[in-house]
Amino acid sequence: MRRKTIALVAALAALLVVTAPVSAVTKNYRPDPDHVYVGLIAFYDSNWEFIHRCTGELLAPTIVLTAGHCPDDGTGSGAVAAHARIWVLQDVGSHYDLATEHDPVTGYPDSCTGTLGNGLGAWCAESDEMYNYGYDGFASFPNTHDIGVVVLSQPIHVSRYAALAKAHTVDRLARHRGTQDVRFRVSGFGLSYLLDTKGTSRSLSFRVRLQGDETLINLHNQSTLGFNLETQGNGNGRAGTCSGDSGGPILYPAGSDTIVGVTSFGNSNAGCRGPNWYYRSDRQPVIDWILDKAGAAADDIVVH
């Protein structure tokens, strides 16, 4: 991301957690041609100047779910960005040129047109209508209200869309965890490798859609309290999320298209290698808010 990510410190009883909005699937990741509704979404100011990028997922042809800190305009006022643009392709920016800051194949991040053709209304769309669920820069941690909705000006039609899990879907996982399936699947764009050692930061971003599997750590500790999911970071066959994956879906069961939360924050001290947190969408107030912001398109959103 071009905008510098600010580390957020929350003192939680005897626990000190250093958090920052996150961006891409790391470690044991694999290409993701499967989640066709997941796209790379970029946000812009009123002059269409690029602010930052995230991940978003189509709930319906014109409705994108993402994290609340993604459409935030960065001023601290709670205002949202003026414009957004999403590309729903597995490979959005692998031809990105650091010198020109442009991908000539897809047009990322400047347009929906490149050597691939004009994707506007096909695999790309724009927006000037977006909302966050009261996101306040993590001041209300752990209830960060880190959910956002983007309403597209052009519909994108894909073979299937993400669904919202009904309220309390994952609550049962807090009990008898050893006898239940606690595997989740994540998908997103962003950093796939980050090393921050002694002031030297090295990162790698493919700007392609990647996926990976994680396992649940906690639903009701001091950093979750029913508002977030905490999962294990990468390693030992697990993938993790990092900067750029923000807003991407966490799916449960792992092989489904059912969203139970969006990628929210991670442990910055771990260089994208530590635990991951996801703001839960399987809460009735959140579901109601998403459907309200979707307007007439709410009828096209599946909740199950």
- Considering the domain boundaries, does residue 27 fall inside one? no
Q: Where are the alpha helices (DSSP H) in 194-244?
A: none
Residue 143 belongs to some domain of the structure:
yes
Q: Report pLDDT for 289.
A: 98
Provide the number of structural domains found in the chain. 1
The DSSP code for 97 is B
| Nearest-angstrom CA–CA distance, 294 and 225 | 27
Residue with tokens 């409705």: 63
In-domain check, residue 183: no
Q: What pLDDT sits at residue 79?
A: 93
CATH number where 156 lies = 2.40.10.10
* Domain membership flag for residue 149: yes
Domain for residue 97, yes or no?
yes
Task: Tally Cβ neighbours within 10 Å of residue 79.
Answer: 12
Backbone angles phi, psi at 39, to 5 degrees: -130, 165
For the chain, the first-to-last Cα distance in angstroms comes to 34
Amino acid identity of residue 222, one-letter, is Q
Give bridge partners of residue 9 from the DSSP assignment. Answer: 18
3-state secondary structure of 171: helix
Give phi and psi for 278, each to the nearest 5.
-130, 130
| Runs of H (alpha helix) within 131-201 | none
135: closest CA among 226, 227, 208? 227
292 assigned to some structural domain: no
Give residues with Cβ within 8 angstroms of 104, minimum separation 6: 95, 97, 114, 115
* pLDDT for the residue 275: 84
User: How far apart, in whole angstroms, are the C-alpha atoms of residue 304 and residue 301?
Assistant: 10
Query: What residue spans of the chain are helical by DSSP H?
Result: 284-294
CA angle 40, 37, 171 (to 5 degrees): 100
302 contacts 290 by C-beta, under 8 angstroms:
no
In whole angstroms, what separates CA 295 from the centre of its chain?
A: 22
- Does a structural domain hold residue 193? no
Task: Let me know: does 239 contact 218? Beta carbons within 8 Å.
Answer: no
- φ/ψ region of 101 (left if φ > 0, alpha if ψ in -120 to 50, else beta) reads left
Its domain, for residue 142, covers: 35-161
Instruction: Name which of 46, 50, 34, 57 is nearest 103 in CA terms.
Output: 50
pLDDT of residue 274: 74
pTM of the model: 0.87
Residue 260 buriedness (CB in 10 A; 0-12 / 13-18 / 19+): buried
pLDDT in the model for residue 303: 98
Task: Report pLDDT for 232.
Answer: 83
- Is there a contact between 157 and 68 (Cβ–Cβ < 8 Å)? no
Cα–Cα distance measured from residue 180 to residue 162, given in angstroms and rounded to the nearest whole number: 23
Structure tokens of 277? 């947190």
Within-domain flag for 211: no
Question: How many other C-beta atoms lie within 10 A of the C-beta of residue 161?
Answer: 19
Quick one: pLDDT at residue 9?
25
Q: What is the pLDDT along the chain (304 residues), one digit of tens a residue?
A: 233 332 222 222 222 233 444 444 555 678 899 999 999 999 999 999 999 999 999 999 999 999 999 999 988 788 999 999 999 999 999 999 989 999 999 999 999 999 999 999 999 999 999 999 999 988 999 999 999 999 999 999 999 999 999 999 999 887 766 668 888 999 998 665 555 555 555 556 778 898 988 889 888 887 898 999 999 866 555 677 877 889 999 999 999 999 999 999 887 655 566 788 999 999 999 999 999 999 999 999 999 9
Residue 13 to residue 222: CA distance in whole angstroms: 8
What pLDDT score was predicted for residue 203?
A: 57
